[in-house]
Chains A and B, each alone.
Chain A
Amino acid sequence: MILSPLHDRHTKLGARMAPFAGWNMPIQYCGIVAEHQAVRESGGIFDISHMGEFEVVGAEVVTWLNGLLTNDLNSLSDGEGHYTLMLNPRGGVIDDLIAYRMGEDRFFLVVNAAKIEEDRDWLESHLVPGIDFADRSKEFGAVAVQGPAVATAWSRMELEHPLPKRNGALECEDGVVVCRTGYTGEDGFELFAPVEAIGSWFDRFVDEGVTPAGLGARDTLRLEKCYPLNGSDLDAEHTPLEAGLGSFVKLDKETDFVGRDALVSQKAEGLKQHLAAITMTGKAPPIRHGYEVCDPDGEVILGKLCSGSLSPSLGRGIGLAYLDAEDCHPGKRVSVRVRERAFPAEIVKKPFI
């Protein structure tokens, strides 16, 4: 198992560690609920050293990447980033990622840990002359610093650079990249630093009062905002349109992209399934990945939860499931089966909070 450059710090802080995408990562320190609330109310810091970082350079880089990603990179100015997806020819998801334009001919891509190899192989298999692709994942450690108070923490630290604006990215002289993005729905930033430097950055934020938070809280925070998790909510069989991510898919951009034809036909035929948001309506056990979503009587199975958790902010179970389009309207009553018993639930509008 791969150890994060912050591993010793996690151990010292008493974190509970668990395997995640081949890495031994902190799941929680003081408790998922407390860490979740710290991020919603003030600030938390997550080790995201497992994430992958790619650099792509070339005069025709915009055109090349636009042929492999769903969003339109022409909409980005230097120092700006956006969420985008990489699809297979059937329109299914290989990975979801953030692409930052670092310069006219240079992009920084941040991809999911479990998909680094698959993404790299896919991109390299499409390489054309004039494009330089580099997987820099092993060079970077990274932290996500998230919450309403972290921007002021940054200011207090009197660093050389101000934080970039929302979705922006900034390169510092010491090889550090700071991006005003995240996976919690709160203001915050992600900081990528050379492996040997990430520890001192972690310490500085903790010294500023930012609470260490683990992957457990990262999951409850993202689920409350309906941010999809690749491998659970996104997969090679479902398209971003079914996942409700149509706003990140630019079917009419200049460049044709892998998966576009499949999406165009799917749109023309009408979507048969949607990734629906489900809330428990009464007292019920926490709902989890794999539990069955049924009709209100618990007799007809409508689908399975691809994500499910207790929402610390709402105090009840929330989840996502692919359901037939006619079952997906907000207000529709359903149930979730937990240990052979059906508990009442309903479809709600996204996000949960």
Chain B
Amino acid sequence: MNVPDHLYFSESHEWVDPALPESATVGISDHAQAELTDVVYLELPEVGRSVSKGEAIAVIESVKAANDIYAPVSGEIVEVNEALAEAPEPVNEDPYGEGWMIKVRLADADEVEGLMNAATYRDTIS
């Protein structure tokens, strides 16, 4: 499973890229997409919504089941990957790239430090 070193991870398998603190990028991990299998539908939140860490913010569906995606950090949603609503395949094919889901303006930049780093996350899924 691909777990890029520069990302942070939640226990519910979302990743956060804090490279730009003004708008951290969020998606789901390679492990999560493999567990879900073929993603056929994605329901993303509205831009402008304020979310708290742990809040359900999106629904991701395979043929077999619907699952929630949780906010790994608190803040305001400033952008969503609209292309995924039309064609969600990148979530499976490129979960850390074209499969990104939302960008969040962090309410508290320190919150990212509370997430798992890549090494710790790798241990939890192995």
Asked whether A and B interact, the reply is yes
Residue B40 CB within 8 A of the other chain:
yes
For A36, the closest partner residue in chain B by CB is B63
Nearest opposing residue in chain A for B85, CB measure: A283
Q: In A15-48, which residues have CB < 8 Å from any B CB?
A: 16, 27-28, 31-34
For B64, give its contact among A216, A285, A339 (CB under 8 Å): A216
Closest B-chain residue to A285, C-beta based? B41
User: Is A309 part of the contact surface with B, judged by Cβ < 8 Å?
Assistant: yes
Cβ of B126 to closest chain A Cβ, rounded Å: 16
Q: Is B59 an interface residue (CB 8 A)?
A: yes
| Chain A residues, CB < 8 A from B61 | 285-286
What residues of chain B lie closer than 8 Å to A288, measured between beta carbons? 66
* Interface of A (DSSP majority class): mixed
Q: Which residue of A lies closest to B63 (CB)?
A: A32
B57 to chain A, nearest CB (A): 13
Given A27-B64, A216-B64, is A285 in contact with B59 using a C-beta cutoff of 8 Å? yes
Given A32-B63, A310-B63, A339-B59, decide whether A286 and B40 contact each other with a Cβ distance below 8 A: yes
B98 at the interface (CB under 8 A from A): no
Q: Give Cα A16 to B38, complex, Å.
A: 13
Q: Which of B41, B59, B62, B64 has the most CB of A within 10 A?
A: B64
Residues of B24-79 at the interface with A, using a CB-CB cut-off of 8 Å, are 37-38, 40-41, 43, 59, 61-64, 66
Pair A220/B63 contact, Cβ less than 8 Å:
yes
Decide if A312 is an interface residue (CB 8 Å cutoff): yes
Give the residue of B37, B41, B59 whose beta carbon is less than 8 angstroms from that of A31: B37
Closest to B62 in A: A32
Report how far A64 CA is from B107 CA in the complex, Å: 74
Contacts of A216 in B (CB 8 A): 63-64
CA distance A24 to B66 in the complex (A): 22
A27 and B43 alpha carbons, distance in the complex (Å): 25
Q: Assign chain A's interface to a size class.
A: 10 to 19
Task: State the CA gap A285–B40 with chains docked (Å).
Answer: 8
Assuming the A-B contacts A28-B37, A32-B37, A33-B38, are A285 and B63 also in contact, with contact meaning beta carbons closer than 8 angstroms in the complex? Answer: no
For the complex, give the distance between the alpha carbons of A330 and B30 in Å. Answer: 43
Of listed B37, B38, B40, B63, residue having the most chain A CB within 10 A? B63
Q: Which residues of B contact A32 (CB under 8 A)?
A: 37-38, 62-64
- The reply to whether B37 and A310 contact each other, CB–CB distance below 8 Å, is no
Q: Are B40 and A310 in contact (CB under 8 A)?
A: yes
CA distance A285 to B63 in the complex (A): 10
| Residues of A312-327 contacting chain B, CB below 8 A | 312
> Please, how many angstroms separate the alpha-carbon atoms of A28 and B66 in the complex?
16
User: Which of A16, A33, A339 is B63 in contact with, Cβ under 8 Å?
Assistant: A33
**Nearest CB on A from B89, distance (A):** 11
CB neighbours (8 Å) of A220 from chain B are: 63
A76 to chain B minimum Cβ distance, whole angstroms, is 37
B56 to chain A, nearest CB (A): 11
Which residues between 161 and 218 of chain A lie within 8 Å of chain B, taking CB atoms?
216
User: When chains A and B are docked, how far (Å) is the Cα of A310 from the Cα of B43?
Assistant: 15
Q: Which of A31, A285, A339 contacts B38 (CB 8 A)?
A: A31
Contacts from B to A (Cβ < 8 Å):
37-38, 40-41, 43, 59, 61-64, 66
Beyond the given pairs A16-B37, A216-B63, A286-B40, 18 more chain A to chain B contacts, judged by CB atoms under 8 angstroms and listed by A's residue number, are: A27-B64, A28-B37, A28-B64, A32-B37, A32-B38, A32-B62, A32-B64, A33-B38, A33-B40, A33-B63, A34-B38, A216-B64, A220-B63, A285-B59, A285-B61, A286-B63, A310-B63, A312-B63
